[in-house]
Structure 1
Amino acid sequence: MRVLVAEKIGASGVGLLREHFDVDEGDHLDRIGEYDGLIIRSATQVTADVLERATNLKAIGRAGVGVDNVDVPAATKRGIVVANAPQSNVVTAAEHTLALLLALARNIPQAHASLTAGRWERSKFSGVELMDKTLGILGFGRIGQLVAHRAQAFGMRVIAFDPYVGAERYKDLGVERAETSDEVYAVADFITVHLPKTPETENWLDDAAFAKMKDGVRVLNVARGPLVDDAALQAALDSGKVAGAALDVFRSEPITEHPLFSYPNVIVTPHLGASTAEATDRAGYQAAEQVIAALTGGSVTTAVNVPAVAAEDLEVLGPFLPLCQDLGRIAVGLAGRLDRIEVEFLGRIADRDTRPLSIAVLLGALGGHTEDEVNAVNAPALAEERGIEVIESKRTSARDFTDLVRVTVDGTRVVGTVLGRRDRPHLLEAMGQRFNLELQDHLAFFRYRDQPGMIGRVGTCFGENGVNIISAAVGLDPETKDSLAAVMVVTTDGPVPPDIVDEIARSDGFVSGTAVSLRN
């Protein structure tokens, strides 16, 4: 077999490949039809046209995290495995965070610039110790956990917020678990963000967030530029609320001019979080390992695409895959956190290999809440490293319906099935009440007092704010004798803004409200 290494990946990865295959190095995509495997970094564009000419290609290895430069659907259609190296830069990113943390605490870049400019200003750059200070971590995935471990070596108290990491994981690492980000803001002397970039996390550190922080807090961002509202950070620096900031990432890159660059208490680096020789070498080596596994029949552990459900199970399980993903996302959205997932399969689907369905539930539950993009290969591993317990059970009989899927997240249960000739997913239970509602991409859930006019009030508020309702269903168990237990589910043709949901939930007769989008 022949493998093309289209970009420089480091000698260790190339050497590993040469132990198994004939290897060519360089930009030879014009001869892609000659190769069984391909290794790339970020510059090479593997388009559908390239793949059409790749008649022998069986595996693509991306020496890095993202695969935006690969047409993954086109590769999947042709049976080509696409794998990346998601853990190659986590240590490097964590170490760079600590480097900036120390530099921020001791004013190292400013002192260096002053001294090399011919000034001895020892008193001007007096700093603060890390020992006994509190480090707040927003986002407690792989990188956040590594940062916590290293910060503890400096004698720091560490508190972290990430509702999608199990409580036992916090205990194992000796880190305090914050129930809300506000709890972090209230006590942290330093705050570092390691959240994934999603519509929900964009501008996470905004004016409201800075206002809740301690006076003199220092802020770091080595994750994604859009997580921090630049104007809000600038205002917080101007007011003295924030004593200093260290930024490695920016809203648009590359960038050489920015209002914050002129601030004497702001340290900046040009996205160096993953830039070490070791990380580059590690990424190439891991990508090589995956290509070797794909071409020799081994286990490809970081594939971002996987074969479809086996043909013999597709007719039965196929329609339930999107349902399970939707139920996972709804359950987590309603629970607001994720320690434990219980998945129950009832009916004829219980006779099949339901592992793809359990993975689909994980995809929905974890999607948008991890640094790495979740896929059918890495979802179980991501759940395990976050200390999330996953329990699956089966029963071959189901009451009232041929098949049912129950998903319970930390005591919050949702139930669904597929109905009709087109196997459309339906929600049958949520928030303790039953109904039958065809799922759409966007939903809003309300618990309220069972009294006339409540549905109309929701419809009026949505209409006034330009939110179009597709359908609605209500549930109330008369046996509960609890007038506050009524539940309403509304589906819409677009996302429901959180402020509208909050406005309704705060109004008379309503108890709570939650919006969930199944598709971003």
Structure 2
Amino acid sequence: MAPSAIYDTAPSLSPSPSSPYRILVPEKLSPEGLSLLRSSGYQVDTPAARPAADELLRLIPAYHALIVRSETKVTAEVLAAAGPKLRVVARAGVGVDNIDVDAATKKGVVVVNSPSGNIVAAAEHTIALLLAAARNVGRADAGMKAGRWERGRLVGVEVGGKTLGVVGLGKVGMKVARMAKGLGMGVVVFDPYASAEVARQAGVELRGELEAVVREADFLTVHTPLLASTANLLGEKELRSMKPTARVLNVARGGVYNEEALLRALDEGWIAGAGLDVFTSEPPAEGSVAARLAAHPKVVSTPHLGASTVEAQENVSMDVCRQVVAILSGGLPTAAVNAPLILPEEYRRLQPFVKLVERMGSLYTQHFAGERGGMVGGRRFELVYHGELAGVNNTRPLLAALVKGLVSSISDLGGRDVNIVNATLVARERGIAIDEKHVRDVGGGAVVPTYASAVTLRSVSSDGGFDGEKEEQVIEGYVSGRAVYISKLGRFTANFQPQGTLLILHNYDEPGKIGNVGTALGRHGVNISSMQVAPLHGGSVVVGGDGGGRSTESDDGSLADSESRAANEALMILGVTGDVTQDVLQELGKSEGILHVNLVRLE
């Protein structure tokens, strides 16, 4: 099998020690998460008390990242006050109800959360409430503390042999179902998006209608987000159709059950009891329906403890902090709410290609467009994925990387304002159109068939055709291990790493050229750290060509001699250190046989 770019661990994302980024954490976060941020070189501010709304408006303009839990409200007003610095808002938890995601998206701010960090905690709390509701644990505890011995009044029911209805077979719902199976319960599920095969493998029975699950359940638990489609999902109709001995559970989101209908169901005996961890208002306002539910004798209530375990708090904290570090360092988040979800295995596969594509975009602008006044706008580009990479469906991070690379050398912020949320908008504003193609055969245009994946970047004219034979603007690259390589630059076959400061000389491949260039650079104190000669691809004769190639007649006017010489064109690609001034470039450009010189600076 050819090598591929899939790592056991993601590349280091630590910024330089001089990183100017500031992070505001107005709510309690685990010490491990804060330590990760600080050890990555960022300034982290943790106010002693959570700032009030007006204070947050005053503070936020100074920050590049904001990490919150459930209490801080990140409104459109807060996001507008943030100005251009803010790049990411992170929610240390699952829900983002307290964040105006639409406003963040319009502003180009990435919103991330931790959808997996508290799965076990939420599932275990659901089972705890299930057992507590079945055995009247809450009322028994309160009675004992009040000096009452009410053994005869608090007869419960066993859960073994009973049916648990699960609404929402996501990660938490699946975990609860498996735990319930361990208690000897049968499990029936309603989830319009669930796979029948996954349900079968889990040993649960999938139902096509919510009503079927509601009627069968002895216990009913919901595990859905609070959306327009799930608000009041379980109302009077559903509760009236349940068994009078049934009990309901909610460790998901307040509002999935219609609270007024649930209160009536308990008062009038439609159902036997409930275990509630979440409410429509938290803490429940005095006298509200939520408060009456929390105090109801048939309800075991807890103050939103579903994710409140030491382990879960550490998990979600570390998860979102890693994502903040990744975003501020130019990497990929693993759970962006307002962009396609990047799964861990996709992260490991895409991360090196994000780096490659960004370098290809920057190289294009500096090598090709640089000769034409830095013009990138008004062009269309083809970004072609070859081989295994063509099988990745979520390539939005690669598109964003290309936009960032294309504009990095011609924007005031060096492309740092481009992310996976606003990349399409930035491209549209600059007149850049990008087409993506997936080619399963790595040899389909790429010249690195020994590698499992490759990328081709091709410039296309506005009318849909290539820019012409004299301007074939193509860059191809691949990944090997942790390193990225360019395998084709224009018409020339190459194999170099796009990094640092590069001098790219288009010249006739004749004896003495390397020595002359080295001597010229030495006179100016410029050191050559690496060098490669890239020959003309295929050895074909092309008059004119990529960025500076031109026809020249011999002394006797023979075009044939000129064409013969053009057949020996090459690129000399030098990695250099030292101050490459305009004088150096001019001297090199005047050297015999040098057709063009480009200075390219890559991170």
In the superposition, the TM-score normalised over structure 1's length comes to 0.55
Aligned residue number for residue 23 of structure 2: 4
Amino acid at match of 1:24: V
* Alignment partner of 1:14 out of 34, 56, 60: 34
- State the 1:185 CA deviation: 2.5
Q: 1:212 to 1:300 in 2, by over 3 A?
A: same
RMSD: 3.8
Instruction: Tell me if structure 2 keeps the 8 A contact 1:158–1:176.
Output: yes
Aligned residue number for residue 337 of structure 2: 304
Structure 1 residues 172-183: aligned runs within 5 Å: 172-183=201-212
Aligned residue number for residue 236 of structure 1: 265
Instruction: Tell me if structure 1 keeps the 8 A contact 2:104–2:110.
Output: yes
Q: 1:21 to 1:219 in 2, by over 3 A?
A: same
**CA shift digits 1:342-364 (9 cap, x unpaired):** xxxxxxxxx9x98579xxxxxxx
Q: 1:167 to 1:32 in 2, by over 3 A?
A: same
**CA shift digits 1:398-421 (9 cap, x unpaired):** xxxxxxxxxxxxxxxxxxxxxxxx
Q: 1:90 to 1:116 in 2, by over 3 A?
A: same
Aligned residue number for residue 192 of structure 1: 221
**Distance across 2 between alignment mates of 1:250 and 1:278:** 24
The worse-fitting range, judged by mean Cα deviation, of 7-16 and 53-62 is 53-62
Instruction: Tell me if structure 2 keeps the 8 A contact 1:9–1:283.
Output: no
* Alignment partner of 1:40 out of 42, 55, 68: 68
- State the 1:39 CA deviation: 2.8
Instruction: Tell me if structure 1 keeps the 8 A contact 2:60–2:78.
Output: no
- State the 1:31 CA deviation: 6.3
Q: 1:315 to 1:259 in 2, by over 3 A?
A: farther
Structure 1 residues 151-166: aligned runs within 5 Å: 151-166=180-195
**Distance across 2 between alignment mates of 1:354 and 1:87:** 22
Aligned residue number for residue 325 of structure 2: 292
**Distance across 2 between alignment mates of 1:59 and 1:21:** 17
Q: What fraction of aligned residue pairs are identical, expressed as a percent?
A: 43
**Distance across 1 between alignment mates of 2:134 and 2:312:** 26
**Distance across 1 between alignment mates of 2:313 and 2:378:** 41
**CA shift digits 1:20-44 (9 cap, x unpaired):** 1133322496565665444333426
Instruction: Tell me if structure 1 keeps the 8 A contact 2:79–2:103.
Output: no
Aligned residue number for residue 145 of structure 1: 174
* Alignment partner of 1:248 out of 269, 277, 284: 277
The worse-fitting range, judged by mean Cα deviation, of 132-141 and 45-54 is 45-54
Q: 1:171 to 1:284 in 2, by over 3 A?
A: same
Instruction: Tell me if structure 1 keeps the 8 A contact 2:189–2:213.
Output: yes
Structure 1 residues 57-136: aligned runs within 5 Å: 57-67=86-96, 69-70=98-99, 72=101, 75-76=104-105, 79-136=108-165
**Distance across 1 between alignment mates of 2:211 and 2:78:** 49
Query: In terms of Rg, which structure is larger?
Result: 2
**CA shift digits 1:53-88 (9 cap, x unpaired):** 555444433323344555555655565433222223
- State the 1:104 CA deviation: 0.5
Amino acid at match of 1:162: D
**CA shift digits 1:162-186 (9 cap, x unpaired):** 1111111112211111121222123
Instruction: Tell me if structure 2 keeps the 8 A contact 1:204–1:228.
Output: yes
Q: Give the length in aligned residue pairs.
A: 329
Instruction: Tell me if structure 1 keeps the 8 A contact 2:79–2:104.
Output: no
Amino acid at match of 1:3: R
In the superposition, the TM-score normalised over structure 2's length comes to 0.48
Aligned residue number for residue 434 of structure 1: none
Q: 1:231 to 1:60 in 2, by over 3 A?
A: closer
Structure 1 residues 196-211: aligned runs within 5 Å: 196-211=225-240
Structure 2 unaligned residues grouped into runs of 5+: 1-18, 48-54, 341-360, 362-375, 383-389, 397-419, 422-436, 440-603
**CA shift digits 1:172-226 (9 cap, x unpaired):** 2111111212221232211112233233333332232123222311111222332
Structure 1 residues 395-414: aligned runs within 5 Å: none
Are 2:43 and 1:23 aligned?
yes
- State the 1:51 CA deviation: 5.8
Amino acid at match of 1:11: P
Structure 1 residues 391-430: aligned runs within 5 Å: none
**Distance across 2 between alignment mates of 1:244 and 1:57:** 46
Q: 1:229 to 1:48 in 2, by over 3 A?
A: closer
- State the 1:290 CA deviation: 0.2
Instruction: Tell me if structure 2 keeps the 8 A contact 1:134–1:189.
Output: yes
